[in-house]
Amino acid sequence: SYVLTQSPSVSVAPGKTARITCGGNNIGSKSVHWYQQKPGQAPVLVIFYDSDRPSGIPERFSGSNSGSTATLTITRVEAGDEADYYCQVWGTSGDRPGVFGGGTKLTVL
């Protein structure tokens, strides 16, 4: 089955840029979606199709995907961005199962 690998944690100072990566075999050939989850809340879609933002998501959130790594970039990080971030793709085996990464905890210092 397809595996997505995320670093467990990323720390960044307010106003700086955070980069959260998601590794997978030839992930650049897949569409990657990113979700933000704050404590006690359901996840929220922040990036779809590698780099598109849903309405209401700040332009500070962007995404890229190439080769074996997809990246979620958050510029001008704010305290309110502190959350867990998950990448997600759909697998290519028969049932086309959903696959999530293990999640990255973003800490704003």
Partner 1 sequence: QVTLKESGPVLVKPTETLTLTCTVSGFSLSKARMGVSWIRQPPGKALEWLAHIFSNDEKSYSTSLKSRLTISKDTSKSQVVLTMTNMDFVDTATYYCARVPEWLDAFDIWGQGTMVTVSS
Tokens of 81: 């961005």
59 vs 96 by CB, closer to partner 1: 96
Residue 28's φ and ψ, nearest 5 degrees, are -60, -20
Task: Compare residues 42 and 79 and give the one whose CB is closer to partner 1.
Answer: 42
Residues of this chain that bind partner 1 (CB under 8 A): 1, 31, 33, 35, 37, 42-45, 48-49, 54, 86, 88, 90, 93, 95-103
The Cα–Cα gap between 85 and 20 comes to 8
Using only C-alpha atoms, the chain has a radius of gyration, in whole angstroms, of 13
Long-range contacts of 90-98 (CB under 8 A, 24+ apart): 90/30, 90/31, 91/1, 91/2, 92/2, 93/1, 93/2, 97/1
Q: Smallest gap, in angstroms, from Cβ of residue 83 to partner 1?
A: 13
Q: Which is nearer to partner 1, 43 or 58 (CB)?
A: 43
Closest distance to partner 1 from the beta carbon of 57 (Å)? 11
Compute the least distance from the CB of residue 45 to partner 1, in Å: 5
Q: Give the shortest CB-16-to-partner 1 separation in angstroms.
A: 26
Our CB check for partner 1 shows the closer of 28 and 44 to be: 44
> Rounded to whole angstroms, how far apart are CA atoms 87 and 105?
12
